[in-house]
């Protein structure tokens, strides 16, 4: 988020102030918490914006800018050493790997190309012999808990039908 929004408040451009994660379309008005709906704002702007959308607040371009995804490479460059340094500080053993080493290990161990086999092959500490005790792989998918929004709105912003309280 900081890289994407140049470490500034997206509304007033303030720098070197505490920045808050801000929903461009507010949660209360069906806005999601996806990166494409998030920006950074200083306390003053965040409070002034309230439950307005960025467009209603007078900043129609922010929505467009938010939709531009960070390229994977940019994202990795921006975060990789930060992640590494934070892990180092825990005192746990930390090891770096490269895609090339992973591939080399996978070929050396004669394993098929698959995400879970690649995971075994990351890093210099990959042993020379791997014993697999199972053939089944557990696939887990995050499904979310449903919407924060409790009612549908019509195009004028009036409530139209209410959602049940239950979440799955």
Segment near Zn ion (CB under 5 A), from 13-21, 24-32, 52-60, 72-80?
13-21
Question: Can residue 17 be called a binding residue for Zn ion (CB under 5 A)?
Answer: no
CB 91 within 8 A of CB 83: no
Q: Is 9 in the site for Zn ion (CB under 5 A)?
A: yes
Specify the stretch interacting with Zn ion by CB under 5 A; choose among 2-10, 55-63, 69-77, 92-100: 2-10
φ, ψ for residue 84, nearest 5 deg? -60, -50
10 binds Zn ion (CB under 5 A): no
> Using CB under 5 A, which of 24, 25, 38, 45 touches Zn ion?
45
* Closest separation in Å from C-beta 93 to Zn ion: 42
CB of 78 to Zn ion, least distance (A): 22
Q: Which of 14, 70, 94, 109 binds Zn ion (CB under 5 A)?
A: 14
CA distance 94 to 87: 7
Distance of CA 57 to the CA centre of its chain: 25
Choice between 40 and 121, CB closer to Zn ion: 40
Pairing of strands 38-42, 19-23: antiparallel
Question: Is the sign of the CA dihedral 43, 45, 47, 50 positive or negative?
Answer: negative
Q: Is residue 24 near Zn ion by the rule CB under 5 A?
A: no
**Count of alpha carbons within 13 angstroms of residue 51, beta-carbon side:** 6
Number of residues binding to Zn ion, judged by CB under 5 A: 6
Q: Which member of 19, 38, 42, 62 binds Zn ion (CB under 5 A)?
A: 42
**Burial of 52 by CB count in 10 Å (0-12 exposed, 13-18 middle, 19+ buried)?**
middle
CB nearer to Zn ion: pick between 15 and 114: 15
User: Which ranges of 90-131 does DSSP label H, i.e. alpha helix?
Assistant: 99-108, 115-120
Task: Report the interface residues with Zn ion, using CB under 5 A.
Answer: 9, 11-12, 14, 42, 45
């Amino acid at each position: 988020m900081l890289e994407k929004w140049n470490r500034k408040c997206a509304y007033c451009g303030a720098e070197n102030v505490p920045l808050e994660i801000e929903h461009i379309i507010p949660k209360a008005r069906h806005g999601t918490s996806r990166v494409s709906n998030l920006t950074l704002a200083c306390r003053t702007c965040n409070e002034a914006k309230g439950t307005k959308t960025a467009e209603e607040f007078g900043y129609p371009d922010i929505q467009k800018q938010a939709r531009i995804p960070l390229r994977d490479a940019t994202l990795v460059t921006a975060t990789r050493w930060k992640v590494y340094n934070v892990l180092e500080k825990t005192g746990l053993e930390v090891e770096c790997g490269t895609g090339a080493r992973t591939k080399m290990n996978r070929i050396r161990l004669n394993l098929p190309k698959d995400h879970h086999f690649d995971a075994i092959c990351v890093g210099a500490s990959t042993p020379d012999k791997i014993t697999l005790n199972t053939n089944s792989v557990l696939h887990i998918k995050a499904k979310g808990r449903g919407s924060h929004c409790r009612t549908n709105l019509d195009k004028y912003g009036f409530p139209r039908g209410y959602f049940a309280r239950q979440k799955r």
